[in-house]
Amino acid sequence: MNANKPLAGVKVVELGTLIAGPFCSRILAEFGAEVVKVEAPDGGDPLRKWRKLYEGTSLWWYVQSRNKKSVTANLKHPEGKEFIRRLIAEADILVENFRPGVLEKLGLSWEELSADNPGLVMVRLSGFGQTGPYKDQPGFGAVGESMGGLRYVTGFADRPPVRTGISIGDSIAALWGAIGALMALRHREVGGGKGQVVDVALYEAVFAMMESLVPEFDVFGFVRERSGNIMPGITPSNTHTTRDGKHVTIGANGDAIFKRFMQAIGRRDLADDPALADNAGRDARRDEIYGVIDAWCAAHAEEDVLAALEKAEVPASRVYSVADMFADPQFLARQMIETARLPDGREFRIPGVVPKLSATPGSTEWLGAALGAHTDEVLAGLGYDDERIARMRADGAV
């Protein structure tokens, strides 16, 4: 691992599967943390078999587990559990996303682990958190998105709520987990060396992103509803269809921007209308304005629409597919499409690392490893000799 990365020297153990926990530790791994991912010997993380497979392994897996070491351990076997306790005893951070109570039943509770390692930071990601009446219920990202308010406001008013197209609830929770871990490490550094628990509930992670939902309801009794592609109360901001059937998002809700926009499309009457000089006036005539923009976009090809808006300095973009991203100079200039190699040597593309740090950037050091590829190495690093490792493997402990 690159010693110049900001998290070099930080040791992380991941007891997670699928999305929230693994994405959290992936962020840490991209920026230099030594992440050891613990998997069950009989198949490992189910993500290895999710979505599109190449020669039996998920392409998603290679990205989600980049820069991580993979070890296997049977947590129901005494020696397997001892291995992981010894591993955690030397770690700075433990990331887990089991249902609350699972680790406790395995003898890996916070109380037991922190007794071995008082500086441990334990990131716990679950559907509903470690406390409260719902804590024992299963809760995937879809549930968190629904309970946290995101799905209620996503879609069109005349249709049922929809998902965003990715597992956004899990990923948001992972980001909060990584932020919480770094906060806890900072506190440990300046506050006496003690670790703590970072308790992230998926529904709360989503709820935290819901803008002004709470105060608007409390003060005005206002319930935000689904509004399709427009931004209620902020006009114009919408997605429009061009003559060639493409979709362009236009955000012209700034006062000066709106004026330039209307001038660019030949509607100087609207550009100079004093009633439309501010957002409140525009929003009162929202349907009229969107009708004008819809008609103009429908009369022009996507390329011409974007060229005219760029010239007028109006924020706009085509709605990108992944194919658009592969050819886009901005994505390429900022190295957001990286080239890597699959185990058989075939080149393929993976997403770049975010955020961009000027002095100590993150990077891809290696892709998701084969199941248990680092088990012997990690065991040896903990002082296990070859004979004991072979016996543990024969006994099904690893």
Cis peptide leading into residue 100 (ω within 30°): no
What are the strands, taking DSSP E only, across the chain? Answer: 11-15, 34-39, 53-54, 57-58, 68-72, 93-96, 121-126, 197-201, 237-241, 247-251, 316-318, 337-341, 347-351
Closest CA to 15 of 113, 139, 111: 113
* Number of separate helices (H) and strands (E) present in the chain: 18, 13
Check: CB of residue 21 under 8 Å from CB of residue 14. Answer: yes
Closest CA to 295 of 232, 242, 251, 244: 242
Residue 385 among the catalytic residues:
no
Both tokens of 67, joined, read 């820069």
Half-sphere exposure at residue 387, Cβ-oriented, CA atoms within 13 angstroms: 0
Residue given tokens 């592969």 in the structure block? 326
Both tokens of 78, joined, read 């005494």
Which of these is catalytic: 42, 92, 136, 170? 170
Distances (CA, A) of 96 to 38, 42, 77, 119, 147: 10, 19, 19, 17, 22
Specify which residues 121 forms β-bridges with.
93
Query: What are φ and ψ of residue 234, in 5° steps?
Result: -130, 110
Residue 78, judged by CB atoms within 10 A of its CB (0-12, 13-18, 19+), counts as exposed
- Kindly state the DSSP code that residue 319 receives in the 8-state scheme: -
Closest CA to 21 of 76, 98, 106: 98
The whole-angstrom separation of Cα 300 and Cα 238 is 17
Strands 237-241 and 247-251: antiparallel
Q: Which residues are catalytic?
A: 170
